[in-house]
Chain A
Amino acid sequence: MNLRITLAVAHRVLIQLRRDKRTMAMLLVLPCVLISLLWWIYEDANPMLFDSIGPALLAIFPVIVMFLVTSVTTLRERSSGTLERLLAMPMGKLDFLVGYAIAFGLVAAVQSVLAVGVSVGLLGLDVVGPLWLLTVVAVVDAILGSALGLFVSAFAQTEFQAVQFMPAIIIPQLLLCGLLVPRDAMPPFLEAISDVLPLSYAVDAMQHLTTSTSTGQVWQDVAVVAAFAVGGLALGAATLRRRTD
Chain B
Amino acid sequence: MMNNAVEIRDLHVVRGRHTVLEHLDLAIGGGVTGLLGPSGCGKSTLMRCLVGVQRIADGSVEVFGKPAGSAPLRDRVGYVTQAVSVYDDLTVAENLRFFARVLGAGRDHVDRAVASVDLEEYADDVVGRLSGGQRSRASLAVALLGEPELLVLDEPTVGLDPVLREELWTLFHQLADSGVAVFVSSHVMDEAERCDRLLLMREGRIIADGSPDDIKQRAGVDDVEAAFLAIVRQDRGDAS
Query: Which residue numbers of A lie inside 8 Å of B, CB to CB?
Result: 4-5, 8-9, 11-12, 15-16, 19-20, 80-82, 84-91, 242-245
B60 located at the interface, meaning its Cβ lies under 8 Å from any Cβ of chain A in the complex: no
Residue from B54, B55, B74 in contact with A90 in the complex, judged by beta carbons closer than 8 Å? B74
Cβ–Cβ contact B89 & A16, under 8 A: yes
* Closest Cβ neighbor of A88 among chain B residues: B51
Residues of A within 8 A of B87 (CB): 12, 16, 80, 82
Q: A12-B94, A19-B126, A244-B54 are in contact. Are A90 and B69 (CB under 8 A)?
A: no
* Closest Cβ neighbor of A83 among chain B residues: B85
Residues of A within 8 A of B101 (CB): 4-5, 8, 11
Residues of B within 8 A of A88 (CB): 51-53, 69, 74, 77, 79
Main secondary structure of the interface of B (DSSP, over half): loop
Residues of B within 8 A of A86 (CB): 102
Cβ–Cβ contact A91 & B102, under 8 A: yes
> In the complex, A199 Cα to B9 Cα: how many Å?
52
Q: Enumerate 25 A-B pairs (CB-CB under 8 Å) in ascending A order.
A: A4-B104, A8-B101, A11-B98, A11-B101, A12-B94, A16-B89, A19-B89, A19-B126, A80-B83, A80-B88, A81-B81, A81-B82, A84-B53, A85-B99, A85-B142, A88-B52, A88-B69, A88-B77, A90-B102, A90-B103, A91-B74, A242-B53, A242-B69, A245-B54, A245-B55
Residues of B within 8 A of A82 (CB): 85-87
Residues of A within 8 A of B142 (CB): 85
Residue from B52, B86, B104 in contact with A242 in the complex, judged by beta carbons closer than 8 Å? B52
B230 located at the interface, meaning its Cβ lies under 8 Å from any Cβ of chain A in the complex: no
Q: Which of A20, A81, A244 has the most CB of B within 10 A?
A: A81
Cβ–Cβ contact A84 & B75, under 8 A: no
The interface size bin for chain B is 20 to 34
Residues of B within 8 A of A84 (CB): 53, 81, 85
Residue from A11, A91, A245 in contact with B15 in the complex, judged by beta carbons closer than 8 Å? A245
Q: A85-B81, A245-B55 are in contact. Are A90 and B75 (CB under 8 A)?
A: yes
B71 located at the interface, meaning its Cβ lies under 8 Å from any Cβ of chain A in the complex: yes
Cβ–Cβ contact A89 & B99, under 8 A: yes
Residue from B74, B83, B86 in contact with A89 in the complex, judged by beta carbons closer than 8 Å? B74
**How far, in Å, is A134 (CB) from chain B's closest CB?**
32
Cβ–Cβ contact A20 & B89, under 8 A: yes
Residues of B within 8 A of A245 (CB): 15-16, 54-55
Residue from A16, A19, A90, A243 in contact with B71 in the complex, judged by beta carbons closer than 8 Å? A90
Residues of A within 8 A of B51 (CB): 88
B231 located at the interface, meaning its Cβ lies under 8 Å from any Cβ of chain A in the complex: no
Residues of A within 8 A of B55 (CB): 243-245
> In the complex, A118 Cα to B75 Cα: how many Å?
48
Cβ–Cβ contact A12 & B90, under 8 A: yes
Cβ–Cβ contact B75 & A89, under 8 A: yes
Q: A5-B102, A243-B54, A244-B53 are in contact. Are A81 and B69 (CB under 8 A)?
A: no
Given contacts A8-B98, A16-B89, A90-B102, 13 further A-B contacts (CB under 8 A): A15-B90, A15-B94, A19-B126, A20-B89, A80-B83, A81-B81, A81-B82, A82-B87, A84-B53, A85-B99, A243-B53, A243-B55, A244-B54
Within 8 A of A (CB), among B175-189: none
